[in-house]
Structure 1
Amino acid sequence: MLSRTADSLFWLGRYSERAGNVARGLAATLRMALLAQPLSGAEKEWRALMVAAGCEPSFRDRYGGMLQEDAVHWLTLDPANPAGIAACIEAARRNARIVRTALTVDMWAAINDTWIEFRRLDGSAIRGDRLPGFLDWVTSRTLLFNGAAADTMLRDDAWRFTHLGTMLERADNTARLLDARHAAFAQGAAADAACYAQWQAVLRSVAALRAFQHVYHARLDPQRVAELLILRPELPRSLLACYRRVEQTLQAIALASGGAQGECHRLAGALHARLRYGRIEPIMESGLHGFLTGVIDENIRLGQEIAASYLSGRAA
């Protein structure tokens, strides 16, 4: 496979996944902001979302304060934000168009129809009571694309690079969501209603609130929430589950191209092994924030090494 084709497939997976992640994060933050409003804590909630999305500095440069209306517009319809939904949908469709012949009919329809419908929207789509419906629509379109890819693609290199981008983006999002609210998970933090709402918000952001109850059959607590999102293999958005798929996919790509492996394979294997044999107690004792920032940094490096080995030069 040509490196530029692999590059477009990889970024198609990343941008499509990122749009859905932003929509879920926004929906959870809206709920949290409503709860925090009487306590003047809404601004803190929007800042946490901006930090998780990796666009707080650029948002402050553009808007100054942290008003809800500005934050929602920046993360949804503002094309100047490369981490926003508008830019992600545009970039996903652009990359899909480049590799149109490598996609199935259902995958192309999912991406192209989303792009067409999105271009018809105006500012009223994110105002008032229409915003939750818009966010649900974005999430459902991401699920439609992922489902089309899972159900209709041949398990060849086109599938592998699309899936690789999706899993790398998903892992990055989970780590950033947890890290943005790491203070609520610190040992010794007061287990009050505010912290409980923070734990719930993180789970909602990765659609894992019901999964938590199914796995633990217990009330929320910081260690179990962190364990679910970091170390539980059953959860498809946990760090362990994502890096297991990243390592497996990279190995399949290497086998299909003659068996040669590089630094990206070593990094993926090391990340997966650390999580597979890790335990939540030492992670919490040594500091969740330090652990997660390390994972985020390694994820960036892994993306760079994947680009160096297989793609046409764009690093994550």
Structure 2
Amino acid sequence: MLSRTADHLFWMSRYTERAENTARMLDVNYQTALLPQSEEMALQGWEGLLTISELKSLYLETRGSTIEARDVLDFMVCDESNPSSIASCLGAARENARAVRGALTTELWETQNQTWLELTRMLRQREFARDPAQFFEWVKFRSHLSRGVAIGTMLQDEAFHFYRMGTFLERADNTARLLDVKFHAAQSDYFGMAHLADHDFDFYHWSAVLRSVSGFEVYRKVYRDVITPERVAELLIVRPDMPRSLAACLNEVVNNLVAVANDHSHETLRRAGKLKADLQYARIDEILATGLHAFLTQFLDRVNELGVRISQDFLMPANA
């Protein structure tokens, strides 16, 4: 298929997934900010979100030197100068869909277009400011709807594989960032478990993290025990049966890479397979012993490199 068509499909899915995961990160911060804690600790959570999202410098440039929860929410939801805001992501997803309208099913195009139209109405009426939690649920629902329509209506050819590849590459990146936001705040290089266990709100903190990735019921089913930070990390990193875990995402990336492999993609497939194997045979106690923040930082670097290589192998037009 044409590289520009693959590129639009790849980025359409990535931007839709990014909007969903931005909503998830904001939701978990919004929920945990409601717990009893000092004002300084609450603001550290919002600053950590900006730092891990690599948006702190842009925020300070556009919003001034003070980090406030309301400003961060506005910056991450509707500020079009922020390329990773929900408004920017859903707008970019719609534009990529429009560019390859002929490669999409009618149902998928209408879903993407309707999402954008509803979003503009909601932002104009400031609905998210009145009830942020409900707005975040709407963003997640529209992403689920788009993904379900794609699976249910698209021919499972190369276009479908690029769509899916973009989804899971973006999900891997964002799940790692979400984990880092919460564990980095708890000084996760030494994991701080003895310190965390002393807090009354510990259960609510980690249950909010699990709910943000639709993992609370899954955790209860798998572990049938109290929620602990190390098991949250295990569920979201190494368990291949958890849909939003890093291991599950890399399994899907590799499967779709295999389906579209060409003469130039051997090295990209090798690196993706190595990252998949590293997660497949990893043990959470070893990861925590060496430092979770360091592990996630290295993982993000490798995922970003993989995205660049996929672009070079498949999405950028070959030089004449």
The equivalent of 2:128 in structure 1 is 126
Range with bigger deviation, 232-241 or 36-45: 36-45
The equivalent of 2:241 in structure 1 is 234
The equivalent of 1:32 in structure 2 is 32
RMSD of Structure 2 on Structure 1 (CA): 1.7
Per-residue deviation, 1:281: 1.2
Per-residue deviation, 1:116: 1.1
Report whether the alignment pairs 1:296 with 2:296.
no
Aligned partner letter, 1:181: K
The equivalent of 1:206 in structure 2 is 213
SS where residue 220 of structure 1 aligns?
coil
SS where residue 48 of structure 1 aligns?
helix
Per-residue deviation, 1:36: 4.6
Per-residue deviation, 1:264: 1.5
The equivalent of 1:87 in structure 2 is 88
CA distance in 2, matches of 1:23, 1:176: 13
Selected match of 2:229 from 222, 233, 242: 222
Assess, with a 3 A threshold, how the Cα gap between structure 1 residues 180 and 38 changes in structure 2: closer, same or farther: closer
Is this contact kept in 2: 1:24–1:205, CA < 8 A?
yes
CA distance in 2, matches of 1:263, 1:195: 43
- Deviations 1:208-241, CA, capped at 9 Å, x for gaps: 1121111100111121111100000111110000
SS where residue 126 of structure 2 aligns?
helix
Range with bigger deviation, 27-36 or 12-21: 27-36
CA distance in 2, matches of 1:116, 1:39: 37
SS where residue 34 of structure 2 aligns?
helix
- Deviations 1:74-102, CA, capped at 9 Å, x for gaps: 11111111111000011000000011111
Per-residue deviation, 1:260: 5.4
The equivalent of 1:73 in structure 2 is 74
Selected match of 1:266 from 270, 287, 294: 270
Assess, with a 3 A threshold, how the Cα gap between structure 1 residues 238 and 279 changes in structure 2: closer, same or farther: same
What TM-score, normalized to structure 2?
0.92
Share of identical aligned residues, percent? 43
The equivalent of 1:181 in structure 2 is 182
Question: What does residue range 3-22 of structure 1 map to in structure 2 within 5 Å?
Answer: 3-22=3-22
Aligned partner letter, 1:294: Q
The equivalent of 1:62 in structure 2 is 62
CA distance in 1, matches of 2:211, 2:295: 22
Aligned partner letter, 1:68: A
SS where residue 35 of structure 2 aligns?
helix
Per-residue deviation, 1:112: 0.3
CA distance in 1, matches of 2:33, 2:192: 24
SS where residue 127 of structure 1 aligns?
helix
Q: Which runs of 4+ in 1 moved over 6 A?
A: none
Q: Is there any run of 5+ residues in structure 2 with no aligned partner, and where?
A: none
Per-residue deviation, 1:67: 0.9
CA distance in 2, matches of 1:307, 1:192: 47
CA distance in 1, matches of 2:118, 2:192: 48
Aligned partner letter, 2:168: M
Is this contact kept in 1: 2:9–2:159, CA < 8 A?
yes
Q: Is there any run of 5+ residues in structure 1 with no aligned partner, and where?
A: none
Per-residue deviation, 1:125: 1.5
Is this contact kept in 1: 2:239–2:245, CA < 8 A?
yes
What TM-score, normalized to structure 1?
0.93
Is this contact kept in 2: 1:72–1:126, CA < 8 A?
no
CA distance in 1, matches of 2:267, 2:198: 44
Range with bigger deviation, 221-230 or 55-64: 55-64
The equivalent of 2:258 in structure 1 is 251
CA distance in 2, matches of 1:51, 1:220: 26
Is this contact kept in 1: 2:47–2:56, CA < 8 A?
yes
Is this contact kept in 1: 2:12–2:97, CA < 8 A?
yes
Is this contact kept in 2: 1:76–1:86, CA < 8 A?
yes
Aligned partner letter, 1:141: R
Is this contact kept in 2: 1:22–1:53, CA < 8 A?
no
CA distance in 1, matches of 2:76, 2:227: 29
Question: What does residue range 39-54 of structure 1 map to in structure 2 within 5 Å?
Answer: 39-54=39-54
